Structures are given as C-alpha cells and as structure tokens.
Structure 1
Amino acid sequence: MEVGETKCSSGYGNPPWTFKGSALYQLHLVKAETARAVIPKELRLVEAFGYTLGGFFLASYEDSPAGAFDELVVIAGIVWNPPTSCAWAARVLVNSDEACDHGRKVEYVGLPSQVARFTKRITAVQGQPKRKSSSFLNMIGLGTTTTCTPKGFMDLQVSENKGCVATDICNIKLATIGPTPKFDQRMGLAIKMSLPSFRVRAVEPAKVSGPSFAPKEDTGNLHQTANSATEELIDNERNLSISVLLSKPIIALEFNCLKMQVEAPIVVANCSKSSLKIS
C-alpha cells in the first residue's frame, strides 16, 4: 500500500464512521526506551529527558458501526509525522469481535486490536468528603447524564481473550458519582466542532494496577515448542503495553457527549509494524 492511500470497510459502510459515547484520555510519562520497543524504528519518537507522552484512551461507545462496545487504547508515545506529531497505539482492546476485526483489517491499516473482557465492579464508600465532581458514570454505563459527589469506586478489570483463556492486562480504579442537574456547569466546557463534538474537563487520574500473573503450567506437549518464539513475542508486546499503563500519570481528560467521526485511514509510512497514527 502506498503512502497516502486509503482503504474503506464494507462491513462498516462508507466513511466517515460515527462513534458516540464517553471517554477518558489519560496522559502518562513513559520511558523513551519502553516506547521505542513498540514503535517502528522508521519513526522518530518525540521525547525529552528520556521520556515521551503516552498513556491510554478508555472509551465506552453507546452507538457505533459495531454497536455498543468498550475500548482501551494503550498509547506508547508521540511520534514525529511532519508537519505535526501523532500518538502511537501499541495495543487496542475491545469487547466486540466486529470492532476488533475492523481495526485489524481496515480502519487503521493493521491496528493492533485484540478482543478483551471488560469486567466492572462497584464498591460503595460511605462518609466520604465532597470532592470535585466527575461525570464518568455515563462512560461506564451505570449512571445518568450528570454528576455530583463520589459515592464509591468502580474497578474495571481488562482481560485479553485468547481462545478460551483470558489473560489479565490491568485494573483501572475510577470514582463513581451521583446525579446533578443535566447541564450543570461542572460537566465541563461544551465544545462543538465538525470533528468531533464533546464536553471536556480535567479530572483526577484513574489508578491503574497491573495483573497478578500466575505461573505457566508445563504440559510437556512437544508440539508447543514450535510456537514458543511467537508466544514469547506476543507476551513481550503485552508486557510492554502493561508497562505503559503503569507509568506515571500526569493529567486525565474526561470527554462526555462525545461524537467522533473517523475518516478512512491513511498510511503515513512504510514501517516494519502497522502504520498507525492517531491525531
């Protein structure tokens, strides 16, 4: 595929593709050596003092070409793509087979998509002091259109599916909240653009913890040795993505009433890995 060439999806229909929902975009300081391990050598990493800006994009789409689904995009860092820079997705986890297939084959020209399980658990906390509000309930599908004081926490466990086996990736702890009037000023600044429209405001970063790895069982099956190199590569890429998630958070932006229009993808370089950019 030549640089600048686009590719469309028949299953998703013709672009632009519209996604509606809510999201949390959290920026982390990621070690440059970690980011370089998952970014093609052909691209230049934007870094300073040994660090780049990575993090994750956690979204809950209530409406999309693939229906309702959750998505966790692990952002390894920022790469230079003249005349601007773009975020590089190291791993994309979705709980939709259709969205995963579309991401791998079409939408982002080989997006590193994997099918995952998003398990949500609410823990109520009594007698907590009032804090700045957060309207993340809309994103997790547990609340109304508004926010108030924290009522507890939601633990979001993300596990990557591989056949019948689920491998834990991370646990993200988010504050849950109660209702306030729909157009409360605390929801954040309303912004309308042709691409996209949303409400956005800074919130307290979510707490991310890594998985508890269980030791692998030795089945003694000699046929498994043929795939050991591939398995090691997959495990290494997964572990690097987890390292990005566990890096130091610096700011979190909450997007509500999000309407995102995605155009057909463009290949920005002929790289050894998928040529993905996220503007």
Structure 2
Amino acid sequence: MEIGKTRNSSGFGKPPWIFKGSASYQLHLVKAETARACIPKEFRLVEAFGYTLGGFFLANYEDSPAGAFDELVVIAGLVWNPPTSCAWATKVFVNSNEACEHGRKEVGLPSHVARFSKRITAMPKKKSNKSIGFLDMIGMNTTTTTSSNSRDFMDVQVTEVKSPCVEDSCSFNLTTTLVPAASSLDKWMGPTIKMSLPSFSGRTEYTPDLFKYSCKIQCRVRAVHPTKVSVSRISELEPCSEHHESRSSSSSATTMDHSTSAAVMLSKPIFAFKFSRMTMEVEAPVVVSNCSSSNNPLRTC
C-alpha cells in the first residue's frame, strides 16, 4: 500500500489533536469470522486458531478540541501492516456532535452519537476481621469495614441515538470496579508509560478512502479486573455497512451481520488496563492506496 497526502482538518483545530483524561482498554479474543464481517477484503487479518485480538477502548476526555466528552471504540480485530499490525474499529460512540463529525469526515471513523449514562454503586461491606495481621498493618485487608477499603462499581450505559438509518438504538452496559482515588493511593495508578496505537480507518460513506493514523499515548497504566459487558436489543443493532467497498452494490454485499459490534463486546476478555492521567496525541491521518504486489498486496510502498 502507498501512503499519500495527509488529511486536513477544518473546525477541529490543526493537528496534532490533544486529548486528556482517562480510559479503560480491554483486549478480547474475537472470532476471526466475526472480525472479517467488518474489515475490508483487501486486509489480511492477524489471527491464530480462528481468533484475532479485538476489544474496546472506553475513554472519558476532560479536555480536547471538542471539550469534555466520552468515547467508546469497538475494535473488531488486528490487520497486517508489515512488519507490524494495525487495529480496525468497527464502531465508535461519542456523546459530542462535534467529535462525531470530526471522526467521520477527518479520521475516517464509523462514529455515531450516543448517550453515556453513568452510575456508581457501592458494594456491601464485608464483616470486619477481628484478627490483625500484616495486611491490616499496611491497610490492604479487604475484609475490614473502613471506607477506604470498600469497593464501588461504575456502571456505564452507552446508547446509540436513533437516526433515520437505524430502526432502533443499541445499548451497551459496562460495569467496572473502581479503586479509591485518594492521593495516598497514587501507587495504584501504576507506572508511567508511552505507547503508540496504530490504526487503519476509512471505507465509510463519508470517507471512502483508506486511512492510517496513530494515537500516541502517555499515561499511568495498571492491570485491572475485566469490565463486565452486556448488550440490549442485539437483533436491532445497525448493520455494519460503513466499510463496504461500494454502497451501491447489491444488498447481499452491503448488509453485514447486525450484531458484529455486540459479538465483539461480548467476546472473551483476556487483558484489561486502566489509563490514568492520560494525554493522547493524534496526528492527521494519511491516505493509503493499493500498490501492485503479487506477494503482498498490502505492503507499504
């Protein structure tokens, strides 16, 4: 593939675009056949034993070019981009019209406006343990009744806002265990890391070309318990039709599995991470085009 000119943005400021906040990044084992339903045919899926690596990225941005907003990115899987691989997002939900418009037209993302409803639920405290041991001395005995050791749950419901092309909205429910946010527990945020998350996008009704872009992230990261996911009205999810090569082709070629996003979200989690004090830098995507190669039609020219 050949990397062409950089996309220019309007109304969102000049790139790189900076986002600050926190996020949950969860990796799932996704069935290869599920991922292929939303990935362009020219891509070769990264898979082993019938599975690829997908999942989701749930972020709360406190500061961005569009102000504060929430985002849920459903990642269908990984595709080869020798010598490495890139992620492919099957759907992106945001509660900002400006962020949705920018994602669609400038980054090539399948963005949709959604409502994010959040609720914190406290878990009933366990009975205190009369014995005093080493864990009590360092304040890590989870059987005590002190408020600092109680655990809360964050329930996030993401509901797609109904549009003319959607018969009904879909709803994802995500339940995450919260860790006390006291300054004395700063160590729970984990070490500071820098990482880059390369991705492909495009093949939508707004951006028919293929794009490549990268998110450079600096944050505090720690492993956490996987988020519990449930989905409402799976049979009424919008078809994953944004990534077809041509929207004018036959209905059998333009109508994909209605429950692809749900299948990804409900697949088996294997790793979950919490990003705190996150700064994410997104460069303007570049247009990618095919170049002839009998051995590797997707190689970068």
TM-score, scaled relative to structure 2: 0.72
1:179 corresponds to: 181
Q: Return the alpha-carbon distance in structure 2 between the equivalents of residues 172 and 121 of structure 1.
A: 11
TM-aligned CA deviation for residue 129 of structure 1 = 8.4
Secondary structure in 2 matching 1:44: coil
Q: Return the alpha-carbon distance in structure 1 between the equivalents of residues 103 and 193 of structure 2.
A: 28
1:188 corresponds to: 190
Secondary structure in 1 matching 2:124: coil
* 1:127/1:44 CA distance change after superposition, 3 Å: same
The AA in structure 1 aligned to 2:228 is K
1:221 corresponds to: none
TM-aligned CA deviation for residue 68 of structure 1 = 0.3
Alpha carbons 1:128, 1:151 under 8 Å: kept: no
> Once the two structures are aligned, what percentage of the paired residues are identical?
59
Unaligned runs of 5+ in 2: 129-134, 141-146, 197-215, 238-249, 291-301
1:252 corresponds to: 272
2:45 corresponds to: 45
Unaligned runs of 5+ in 1: 134-146, 217-228, 271-279
Of residues 211, 220, 227, the one that matches 1:206 is: 227
Q: In angstroms, what is the RMSD of aligned CA positions?
A: 3.1
Alpha carbons 1:169, 1:242 under 8 Å: kept: no
Please say if 1:170 is aligned against 2:172.
Answer: yes
1:120 corresponds to: 118
2:262 corresponds to: 242
TM-score, scaled relative to structure 1: 0.77
* 1:206/1:269 CA distance change after superposition, 3 Å: farther
Alpha carbons 1:150, 1:176 under 8 Å: kept: no
Q: Return the alpha-carbon distance in structure 2 between the equivalents of residues 196 and 215 of structure 1.
A: 35
Q: Return the alpha-carbon distance in structure 1 between the equivalents of residues 111 and 220 of structure 2.
A: 27
Secondary structure in 2 matching 1:167: coil
The AA in structure 2 aligned to 1:186 is W
**Equivalent pairs, count:** 240
TM-aligned CA deviation for residue 32 of structure 1 = 0.2
Secondary structure in 1 matching 2:169: strand
The AA in structure 2 aligned to 1:204 is H
**1:113-141 deviation digits (Å, cap 9, x = unpaired):** 0000111122222214899x9xxxxxxxx
Task: Choose 1 or 2 for highest CA Rg.
Answer: 2
The AA in structure 2 aligned to 1:77 is G
